[in-house]
Structure 1
Amino acid sequence: MSSSERPEVIEKEVKEKDYKEEDKDEEKGGFVDKVKGFIHAIGEKIEEAIGFGKPTADVSAIHIPHIDLHRAEFVVDVHVTNPNPVPIPLVDIDYLVESDGRKLVSGLIPDAGTIRAHGSETVKIPVKLVYDDIKNTYDDIKEGSIIPYKIKVDLIVDVPVFGRITIPLEKTGEIPIPYKPDVDLGKIEFNKFSFEETVATLHVKLENMNDFDLGLNALDYEIWLSDVSIGSAELSKATTIEKKGNSVVQIPITFRPKDFGSAIWDMIRGRGTGYTMKGNIHVDTPFGPMKLPFSKEGGTTRLKKNNEEGIDDDDEEIYVDFDAAC
């Protein structure tokens, strides 16, 4: 063969070799793709046949079973649905409560239970807000105010096929920082006056310093004049004390003035004597029922008549007047 023909032969051999290599790569790639596709199809068929899927969840409700001047207790209801044919465990529940981007409280609940196969469960997350902790951390949060909150919940579940999954949830709302009511005893109006038994009516002024209405349902109290208890009782009384407003409640009471000793004579002579009143008001609020304690000490009491004369005229109204507290 002449030297001029060799390049053509060599080039042909190289082209044939390159063609064979490309053909092998195509055959190899096609086989791998077919295997992957087969495995994927088998996986989908298995998943479809067995019924594995990702669980779903949402915050169905938030309850406030207890709230008072010191703390608020939440219960967050999280409804979780499991579409799988086997139970799935709740590995962890991580929660955070914040207000305007500021952390109020957070916590972690490990091993929170199991969601049954092809079923759903309501998981309850207890949360406690201590008002002193909040007020000590954030000076601008004042008693009597209403603050916004956001609850963030991360549910971590372990699902076959998928592994561990985190389901993030959020819910917003408002919570009050209650302010205890201010109580003043304006006067005691006597319906029947005698040293053995006196029937009277207490005129009690309740002032609501909160940014929300108080629906007064009941009031329990005990009152002392000159360190002598003149009675205690629980009164059912329905009235509404509007936010930043006040209301006067009339409370009937029966007592024996002769038990006061010298204190009753000081009142009659106009010298006055101190008083103390303590108790609780039971109210409804937009956030649930509350039991709010009150205490009032001091003041000066004087026995008077409307005509400012003696106390022996049965036709005149006799009452005990209470000056401003000391």
Structure 2
Amino acid sequence: MAGLIEQAKQFVSDKVASMAKPEATVKDVDLKGVCFSYVTYNAKVNVANPYNVALPICEIRYVLKSSGSEIATGTVPDPGSLKGNGDTMLDVEIKVPHNVLISLVKDIALDWDIDYELQVFLVVDIPIFGNISVPVTSKGEVKLPSLSDYFGKK
């Protein structure tokens, strides 16, 4: 009897492991805005939902790293849902305080940008199975604002 239960457990775990899951990719990270205390960046994350029904997103968590250090972390609560059997583009707003940017002077001084690694975790509610985390990581560079971004071009 114990062998039958173990076979059933193995069968279920194999089916869950092989089931289709939403997949995400970071399409772009760009400057969104500048204020006197922080710089706001916007990450565009495309999520492909393989199911015919819309899936609610419980939250989006992100970690932005540069030179091996975390420069911003945060959560986007209740960002909506994923379209059924299609792609959904999500905007993840990332605020980086100016004092953190100052700690990256060596990287910034070379080319006036930040070389980054962005980790995004989408927590999606799949009926029957519950919440799953869909991780995505992207590396690239983001340009920093110049004085003309603060005072405008005329």
TM-score range, shorter chain: 0.7 to 0.9
Aligned match of 1:141: 105
- TM-fit CA distance, 1:74: 1.2
Partner of 1:72 in structure 2? 39
**In the alignment, is the contact (CA less than 8 A) between 1:68 and 1:178 conserved in 2?**
no
Q: Cα distance 1:85–1:66, how it changes in 2: closer, same or farther (>3 A)?
A: same
CA distance in 2, matches of 1:146, 1:55: 32
Q: State the SS of the aligned residue for 1:53.
A: coil
Matched-pair contact (CA < 8 Å) for 2:34–2:40: yes
Contact 1:57/1:79 (8 A) holds in 2: yes
| Residue equivalent to 1:109 | 76
The correspondence for 1:163, drawn from 118, 121, 130, is 130
Deviation readout 1:124-153 (Å, 9 max, x if unpaired): 111122323432xx2x62775433122111
Amino acid in the other structure paired with 1:168: P
Equivalences for residues 11-160 of structure 1 within 5 A: 32=4, 36=8, 53-67=20-34, 71-135=38-102, 138=103, 141=105, 145-160=112-127
Deviation at residue 120 of structure 1 after TM alignment? 2.2
AA of the residue aligned to 1:141: V
Give the Å deviation of 1:95: 0.6
Q: Distance in 1 between matches of 2:28 and 2:145?
A: 22
Structure 1 gaps, min length 5? 1-27, 181-281, 283-289, 294-326
Which consecutive residues of structure 2, in runs of 5 or more, have no partner in the other structure? Answer: none
Structure number with the bigger relative contact order (C-alpha 8 A, sep ≥ 6) is 2
Number of residue pairs the alignment of both structures matches: 143
In structure 2, the residue matched to 1:306 is none
The answer on whether the counterparts of 2:55 and 2:124 sit within 8 Å (CA) in structure 1 is yes
Do 1:92 and 1:157's aligned partners in 2 also have CA atoms closer than 8 Å?
A: yes
- Shift of residue 67, structure 1, vs aligned partner: 4.5
Q: What is the distance in 2 between the residues matched to 1:97 and 1:79?
A: 18
AA partner of residue 99 (structure 1): S
Q: Amino acid of the residue matched to residue 105 of structure 1?
A: A
Assess if the C-alpha contact under 8 Å between 1:69 and 1:177 holds in 2.
Answer: no
C-alpha displacement of 1:179: 5.9
The 8 Å contact of residues 30 and 142 in structure 2, kept in 1 or not, is answered as no
Q: Quick check: 2:31–2:143 contact (8 Å CA) kept in 1? A: no
* Structure with max Cα Rg: 1
User: How far, CA to CA, are the matches of 1:148 and 1:132 in structure 2?
Assistant: 17
What CA distance in whole angstroms lies between the structure 1 residues aligned with 2:133 and 2:92?
16
Q: CA deviation at 1:175?
A: 3.3
Report deviation, 1:156.
Answer: 1.0
Cα deviation for residue 86 of structure 1 reads 2.4
Aligned-CA RMSD value: 3.3
